[in-house]
Each structure stands twice: as C-alpha cells, then as structure tokens.
Amino acid sequence: MLGHFGFPLETIVIFLAVVGVSVYLDLFAHRKSTDISLADAGRWSVFWVGLALAFYVYLWLRFSKEWADLYLAGYALEKSLSIDNLMVFMAIFASFGIKGILQHRILYYGILGALVFRAIFVMIGTGLFLASPWVGFLFAAFVIWSGVKMLQNKGGDEEIEDYAEHWSVRLTGRMIPIYTRLHLERFFVRHHEIQEIAKEQGVNLTRPGAFYATPAFLCLIAIETSDIAFAFDSVPAVIAVTQEPLLVYAAMIFAILGLRSLYFVLAALTKYLVHLEKAVIFLLFFIGAKMTLQSWNHAIGDTGFHITPGWSLSIVLLTLIGGVVASFIFPGDGKEDGKDDQPAA
C-alpha cells in the first residue's frame, strides 16, 4: 500500500519554481519574434516533454517508483486527451484571423488561466463527473460549428482589419466596451489612446468606456473557454488513474505547457503541407461527434459504443499523418499557398 502522497512542501516549491521559470523563459525567448518557426516550436516541444520526464525522475528518486509511475500515467493520459485542444485552438485562431507572435501571447496567458482553473477543478475532483456530460453537449456543438466555419473559410486566410461584424463582438459587444481592431498586440486599450485613431479610421466602439477590450482579448476568452470545457472531460479521467491531487495537477500542467509549443508545430506545418488543414477540419467533426457520444452515454443512456483515449489518439495521429502524406503526393499549387502567408496590405 502506498498510503497518501499528500502535499510535500519541497515538491510544491520545486514544481512551482520549475513551471514559473520555464514559462518566463518561453515568453522571454519569443518577446521580439514576429513568427514562430517549425524548428523553434519543435525545440520547445522537446524541452517541455523533457521537463515533464525530469519531474518523473525526481519523483522516482525522491519518493518511489510507484508514485512516479502514477504521475507518468496521468501525464500520458492528459497528453493524449489534450491533443484535441490543438484542433480547436487552430479553429479559434482561424476564426479570428490571428497569426504569428500574437498567437503565442494569447496561448501564454491561456497557460496562466489553465494553472488557476485546473487547480480549482482538481479540488472539485470527481464532482465534475456530474456536470461534464451536459457541458460536453454544449462544447460538442461549438466544436462542430468551428469545423463548419473553418470549412467555409478554407483558403481565406487573410487577416481581419475590423471585427465589428465578428461573432465574438456581436456576442459580447453589448456587455463590455470593445475596440473592434487589433491594437499593438494589446488585450485592453484606454479611451484616450484610441479616441483619435477611431475617429480617423472610422472604427466602431460598441459602447463608451474608460477601457476597451480588443479582439485579442476576445480570442483569449475563447481559448480559455475551450481549455475549461476540455477540463470537464480530462480531469475526471486523470483522477480515475490517481486520486492524489498534487500528482494529478502536476501531470495536467506539464501536459498543457507542452501543448502550446506542439500547437505551433502543427500550425507551422499547415503552411507547408497543403492538405493538413483538411485533416484538422475532419478532426474537428470527429472531436465534436466523440464528445456528443460520451455525453450521451453518461447523461442519457449507454449506447454500448465507446471511444477510448487510445482509439481517439490513434485516429487523430493517423488522420494527421494522412494529411501529411497527401500533401507530399498531391502538393497542389504552392504559389497560391505562398500568397496566403503574406499579410494583408
């Protein structure tokens, strides 16, 4: 019997220090970047995986192999479950027309939100089982809608200048003041900063206020909401592997930290592999169908058909590999794709 791992102060300090320093280094390394290359994203992905494995080694040497194995099992499960997030991130950014370093900034602050919300969800624990099916239905509809929008906009990768008619502004514009254009990669702007610009360019201000949210902030909220929705699915699954809150939390955070860099690997590949975006769109419909099936099984009645995390991960990986292979066999018009990468004039 292992007993209880508890909350060793040394482990908490090491975990928080490693995460804090690593996230800071990630942001510092990309503070002046205009875009994140495939090589850079690949190196950071390896770094985050290595960091998670280093924590596994620490648990093994400091405590026991049994505790370390429980953490590693939770990490592997969370990593496989969170791959779905990548597809939704891509759909959200495509919907907002946001590219490059601003994506990194949004995902970086998404990490900070994930640190807080995952801690709350772990404390709630298995109580999430009661709410997760109904949240699953709502988010499944959002994921499928995202797939439809991405399918409609495929090939139209231009940046958006004015978000006055964007769905996020129409949804929230009456609740909070919004400046309907991106401004210096900022989430909020003061009234006096954009008053003259708004008049000169004819930019809409949804309602008067001392501060205005920008479309970058609305995109951050969409990303964070997707993280929370997926947490309803993943937290109970990881808790089923180990009921130790600190190990569950550490496994989730290390998996999420690596997910951001892995996103940029996928995003960079879509620039060079012309059919990879189609694979992502297909996976959005698959994820939506999977969440609907899981929610139905838990909330309404067991259909007898279940998609395990292993099967889900296999389908995701095989679909992405299929998109890569198809891009090499049927490369399409490379010149047209090159144009799409240029910023709008």
Q: 276-299 and 128-152 helices cross at what angle (nearest 10)? A: 150
CA dihedral (320, 324, 329, 333) positive or negative: positive
The predicted-structure confidence for 16-47, as pLDDT tens digits, reads as follows: 999 888 888 877 776 665 667 778 888 888 99
Measured between alpha carbons, how far is 311 from 317 in angstroms, rounded to an integer? 10
Tell me the C-alpha distance between 151 and 168, whole Å: 18
**Residue 212 DSSP SS3:** strand
177: in domain: no
182 occurs within a structural domain: no
Banded pLDDT at 55 (limits 50, 70, 90): very high
135: number of Cβ within 10 Å: 18
Note whether residue 42 is domain-resident.
Answer: yes
Domain membership of residue 82 as a residue range? 9-158+227-340
Answer whether residue 63 is part of any domain.
yes
pLDDT at 338: 43
* pLDDT at residue 17, rounded to an integer: 93
- Reported as type and span, the H/E element at residue 188 is strand 188-190
Q: How many domains does the chain contain in total?
A: 1
Instruction: Please check whether residue 220 lies inside any domain of the structure.
Output: no
Question: Does 218 map to a domain?
Answer: no
Share of the chain above pLDDT 70, in %: 84
pLDDT of residue 34: 63
169 within a domain of the structure (yes/no): no
C-alpha to C-alpha distance for 320 and 280, rounded to whole angstroms: 7
Most confident of the ranges 43-52, 117-126, 151-160, 277-286: 43-52
| Domain assignment of residue 251, yes or no | yes
How many angstroms from the chain centroid is the CA of residue 321? 20
pLDDT in tens, 267-314: 878 777 878 888 888 888 888 888 888 888 877 888 888 887 778 878
